[in-house]
Amino acid sequence: MSDENCCFCQKQGDSFLKCSACGSVAYCNQSCQKSDWKKHKKNCRPFKIEALEGKGFGMIAVRKIGQGEVILTENPFLILSKNKKERSKGPSLLEQFENLSETNKAKVLKLHHENTEGQLHEKIQGIFEANTIEVTPANSIALYPTIPRINHSCSPNVVWSWVAGSPYSKQVRAVRDIPAGEELCANYIDSFQATFSPISSRQACLQHWHFVCDCQVCSLQGEERKTNDLIREKISLQHQLIPKYMAGWKIDKAVAAARMKVELMMSIKDQLLTTLPSALLELYEMCRLAKVLNCEVPEDCDGLLKQAKDLSEKLGDRFVHVFNQKVEQVEQECLEVSKSKGIF
């Protein structure tokens, strides 16, 4: 092992311990680490940002990150309401930008945008349009300083969520275990319709960001590509059949479709982990209703619920909120069906 310097006292040595959180700095003893923490904690993150060929910049894990681990929490620099009338009442993007510190202004201007030669207000507008994220609880769109460095993948290993009690705060978590050296990627088009669509359709959706996805899924060739597209097509079909069956109260067929949907998703589980809690809850809903109607149900309802809850808790507050809402909705549905059928 080559000599390195203690990050605090600068003493040289060859057996220093790395910071367990980020792995990017080393200390000769715990006393130095504690003394340096106030300074280091601002930069103590389990990732680094570096230039990536064909992508501009990206975020790379500097150590193993466990499933569900919080990778980053940050607040936005610029915010606009999605309601144009409300937007006109607040400060403009340029006004918000001018109120930032010089350090934060520099962070904004380093983000990707196409209009490199334009005036300042044009650059800010271009940066905002290219890098914003929707803030659903606040009916707004916002620009964050670091999250835009997360590139897209149709097999994401991270996901972001708002934080309970702080709707503008975004928290990035690991969708699965991530080894050191792997790029951190999220799914930019994580709606059911887009996620369950074939590669060609997803590529068309991604043109909004002006790039061609070359993730591990989109890079599949020949039979592997056809197989992946076919699985997603089958998932989409079952997804559409469930409400059709329920419209006619064909509960046995709805249960079968929901079960098939989950089984198909499990066959490419690592690619679809962010949509799996909803699919498990949907199957739970069908099974609970089937039980209320005295239909035979092979699934363990409580087991489905536990799987959905455990995964939701790992993915963040947004997923937990959806989970709680859905469970409440299912219980209300079952109560109403019981009353309408005279089952008590």
pLDDT per residue as tens digits for the range 192-229: 889 999 999 999 998 877 888 999 999 999 999 999 99
* pLDDT grade for 115, boundaries at 50, 70 and 90: confident
pLDDT in tens, 267-297: 999 999 999 999 999 999 999 999 999 888 8
Task: Say what the pLDDT of residue 73 is.
Answer: 96
pLDDT at residue 342, as a whole number = 63
pLDDT for position 344: 46
Mean pLDDT of 125-148: 94
Give me the helices (H) in 191-250, please.
Answer: 192-195, 199-206, 222-247
* Structural tokens at position 149: 């460095």
Nearest to 232 by CA among 256, 196, 202: 196
Please give the single-letter amino acid code of residue 323.
F
Q: How many CA atoms lie within 13 A of 329 on its CB side?
A: 11
Instruction: Give the span between the Cα atoms of 186 and 210, in whole angstroms.
Output: 16
**Over residues 137-147, mean pLDDT:** 95
Rounded-to-integer distance, Cα 67 and Cα 61, Å = 13
pLDDT score for 309: 98
In Å, what is the CA distance from 51 to each residue of 55, 150, 151, 158, 276?
A: 8, 12, 12, 19, 32
DSSP state of 178: B
Q: What sign results for the dihedral spanned by CA atoms 35, 39, 42, 47?
A: negative
pLDDT number for residue 237: 97
* Amino acid at position 179, single letter: P
Mean pLDDT over the full length of the chain: 92
**pLDDT(1) > 50:** no
Predicted local distance difference test score (pLDDT) of residue 2: 53
Higher pLDDT pick, 84 / 224: 224
Q: Nearest 5°: phi and psi at 118?
A: -75, 175
In this prediction, residues 148-155 reach a mean pLDDT of 96
What is the arithmetic mean of pLDDT over 53-70?
Answer: 95
List the single range of 105-114, 170-179, 282-291 with lowest mean pLDDT.
Answer: 105-114
Residue 114 pLDDT greater than 80, yes or no: no
| Interval 238-258: pLDDT, tens | 999 999 999 999 999 999 999
Confidence band (pLDDT; 50, 70, 90) for 15? confident
pLDDT in tens, 317-342: 999 999 999 999 999 999 999 888 76
Specify the pTM: 0.87
